[in-house]
Structure formats: C-alpha cells, structure tokens
Amino acid sequence: MVVAAFIFFFVLFLAIGLAATVKSRGNRRDYYVASREVSPWVAGLSAVATNNSGYMFIGVIGYTYAVGLAAVWLMVGWIAGDFIASLFIHKKLRRTAGRVDAVTFGGILSRWNGTDFRVYRRIAAVITIVFLGAYAAAQLSAGGKALHVMFGWPREMGALLVAGVVVAYCFAGGIRASIWTDVAQSFVMMAAMTLLFWAGVQGLGGPAETWRMLGEIPGYLDWFPDDLAFPGAGGMALFAVGWMFAGFSVVGAPHVMVRFMALDKADGMARARVWYYGFYVLFYALATGVGLLSRLYLPELGGTDAELALPTMAQTLLPPVLVGLVLAGIFAATMSTADSLVLSCSAAATNDLPSRRTDNPWIIKLATLATAALALAIALSGTQSVFSLVILAWSVLASAFAPLLVVYALGGRPGEGLAIAMMVIGVGAALLWRNLGLHETIYEGMPGILAGLATFGLVRLLAPAPVADKERIPEKAS
C-alpha cells in the first residue's frame, strides 16, 4: 500500500509537468521564464514550494531534532529576513527583467542599468552553475534518504529517480512544467506535514502531554541554544540576526527569484506575497513541530543520522496509505526545487557563459541534461548532510548576488569592476568564515553580504562613480 500510494502521487506530479508541453512555445523566453505570464497566486505557491524543499523536510527537521525549541529562532529569523527583502527588491527585479528582456538572474544583474557587464555575467554564471549544482545535489540526496528509510532501497536509487523526473519536467516544458507541478506539490507538502504533526501529537496523548514530555528532555525547551559563542539574550539576538540574513539571502537564489521574474505584471507582487508567506509561515511552523516530536518518538536517531527523522517517524505513526502520502510530500519538495535549480544552471550555461547566447532548443535541453548529471554525480559521491550543503550554497549565492542587488534597488550605479569586486569579496568572506569554523556561531552569508556592501561603500567613499563605458542594452517594455 505504501508503494501504491507513493506511485499514485508520483505519477500525478509527472503527468502535471508533462502536460505543460501543450502550452510550450519552444523558445528560450518561454523555456526559462514562461513568457512572463504567470499569475500572482501561481507564482506565490510555486515560489514557496521550491523554497521549502528537501531542506525543510529533511534538513530543518533534523536540525530541530538535534537542538530543540531554540531552532524556532531559525524560523523567525529566516522568514523575517525573507519578508524584508521582498518589500523593496522583488518588484524592482520583475520590472527590470521585463525592461532589459533578460531570462536569467545573472543577465538581469549584468544589464540592470542599461549597460552590458560581460565579464561579470560570465563569472556569475560559473558561481551559479557550481553552487546551484551543489544545491541540486542536496535535493537528490534528500530523496535518496527518504526512499532508503521507507522501502530499504539504496540511497542512490532515490537520487536517480528524482534526477530522472527532473529531466522529464525540464524537457517537457521548462520552467512552466516546474511551476505547474509546484502548485500541486505545495498542497501535498502541506497536507503531509499537517497530517504527521497531528498524528504525532495525538499519539502522545494531546498537546499538554506532548509539551510535558518534551520538557523532560534536559534543555530541550530552552529558548537559547547551549553552544552559543555569547551566552544569554545578546548571543541569542546575534544568532537570530544571522539567520535573518539567511532569509534575506533569498534574493541571491536564482531558482526562487525566477518565479517572481516570470510574474505576469510587477503590480501583482503584493498578491503573490500573500500566497507565498501564508504558506511559508504555516509550513515552517509545522516542520519545526514535527522536528520536536521526532525526538520523543525516535530518541535512538541521536547517535546516527537525525535527517532520517521524518520518514522514520511516518513509518512509526501512520498507516501505509498515509506513509505513501508523506513520502510523496518529501519527493514533491525535492523535485520542485531540484528542477528549478537545474533550469537555473542550464540558463546560466546557455545564456550567460558563452559569448553569444543560443536559442537552439536541443542545445538548451542538452545543457539541462548535463546539469542534472553534474548534480547527480555530487549527490552520489558527497558525504555532507542536506542541511550543510544547502546552507553552503545558499550563503555563497547570497554573498555573490545580494550586495549588488541591494545597491541596485537603492538606486546605486556601480561600474563593472566594482560589481565584480563586490561579488568576489563577498564570496571570499563567506568561504573564509566557514573555513575558520565561525559559521557554527553566525551564518556565513551575513559577513559575506556585509563585505560586499562594505566594498561598494568604501569605493564610493574614495572615488567618484565611473562613467558608463559599456555597450548600451536596448530597453523593452515589461
């Protein structure tokens, strides 16, 4: 019954994605940004599904299992930072995407002020391919872990299955196939997490008894983590601010921002935001709750892999049909993100990296296949956890792109040399922070973003703004 339920939802998602072929126009603009005709509610649900990925189902639950109630600060900081970014960046990004007619994230940043930063665009493409490829590998790894627990299949089989579906989505209709399946997946993801949380609480005798039992675990309901570098409220504030920068880092995530780039009108951003944050807050809260419950149901996981908590807990609590639903929810999350990541890498490889972009659909799809193969190779050979891989990729991408995007949104006009310096110094600061082990105290994207912004501020303080000397880009109406 578990396998039958899983196959049912699996085939349903595959059919929805393949159905996107009926609206496919077979050109580059349609393949990568769905011809910019996505409605606000669809864009919002698609963005929340691709953002709440295997990281949420596997990584966040595993993290909460390990640290307890203090993990809620990750949720508060992350969503607050995400919301702050959306207030002054998302709408301007959509307008600029239409004005310069770019289909890639790097393409928009390199042409924001009407000039073409060609070297910047190529460096941005390399960073995108490398770190989004690692991010995609984390999603494949999450799917492999789920199937390993549920069915006893080798982890490699789950990764291969997710990779195969991702390629099918991308070949069928590009980003439109991804967005369509995202909408269905967002509801299945929410249903799976709600079901597991409700079953977990009821199985322990209700909310009051559950809270009492959690309180018996030493330090598990403490508001402050035990391993803070600076104990007390001050250290907790620093911890939360670090994760607020992690939420703000969404503006450096091409696979999420492309949903807003594909929006039919920039003025629909407020409505898209309502759908996005409504689902986001509820889903994250449920994931944190399930992470807490898993500590009571699966105390033995503490000495093995805490990221196996959700699929193991589903098997413990639910009948076979509902176990299949939860497994489908995990796969929904991993696939909705993995296909977006692969498409973003493919877009960078075919539009930003070469000297001349290509409109040949076969070359575009070949690049998609190569990107999926790269992600699969990383997933099959890597040993890092889903949580660690996602945070690394997320922080590096944010350090590379968020500083320049913030400057653009506030009206700044840096030249290409300064834009490259902001990107390189931001990424270098984040990687150095992690290499020194300081990411255990503060999320490494925070010093990365601040370093990029400080670079802009210092150069502007010491030198006047350069005169634009690059090729002008014809502007188009959005």
Which CATH number do you get for residue 69? 1.20.1730.10
Question: 237, 446 in Cβ contact below 8 A?
Answer: no
Question: 379, 426 in Cβ contact below 8 A?
Answer: no
Domain-embedded: residue 35: yes
Residue of 341, 415, 435 lying closest to 110 (CA atoms): 415
| Helix, strand or coil, per DSSP, at residue 39 | coil
Measured distance CA(476)–CA(478) in Å, rounded: 6
Phi/psi of residue 336, nearest 5 degrees: -65, -30
- 366 Cβ neighbours under 8 A, 6+ residues apart: none
Q: What pLDDT does residue 191 have?
A: 83
- 108 Cβ neighbours under 8 A, 6+ residues apart: 93, 96, 97, 100, 102, 261
Q: What pLDDT does residue 56 have?
A: 64
Domain-embedded: residue 281: yes
Q: What pLDDT does residue 302 have?
A: 57
Domain-embedded: residue 81: yes
- 78 C-beta neighbours (distance < 10 Å), count: 24
Domain-embedded: residue 473: no
Domain-embedded: residue 23: yes
Question: 343, 178 in Cβ contact below 8 A?
Answer: yes
Residue of 127, 96, 86, 102 lying closest to 33 (CA atoms): 102
Q: What pLDDT does residue 113 have?
A: 86
CA-to-CA separations, 229 to 232, 237, 428, 447, in angstroms, rounded: 10, 12, 23, 16
Q: What pLDDT does residue 127 have?
A: 92
Residue of 341, 248, 335 lying closest to 54 (CA atoms): 335
Beta bridge partners of 472: 115
Beta bridge partners of 263: 38
Question: 402, 452 in Cβ contact below 8 A?
Answer: yes
Query: Which helix H or strand E contains 453, and what residues bound it?
Result: helix 445-462
Residues of the chain with pLDDT under 50: 467-471, 477-478
Q: What pLDDT does residue 53 have?
A: 65
Domain total for the chain? 1
Could you write out the DSSP letters of every residue in 129-156?
Answer: HHHHHHHHHHHHHHHHHHHHHHH---HH
Structure pTM? Answer: 0.81
Report DSSP state, residue 55.
Answer: I
Residue of 84, 166, 111 lying closest to 341 (CA atoms): 166
**Residue 41 domain boundaries:** 2-372
Q: What pLDDT does residue 227 have?
A: 57
Q: What pLDDT does residue 71 have?
A: 83
Question: 38, 259 in Cβ contact below 8 A?
Answer: yes
Domain-embedded: residue 394: no
Domain-embedded: residue 428: no
Domain-embedded: residue 412: no
The residue assigned the tokens 């805490």 is: 306
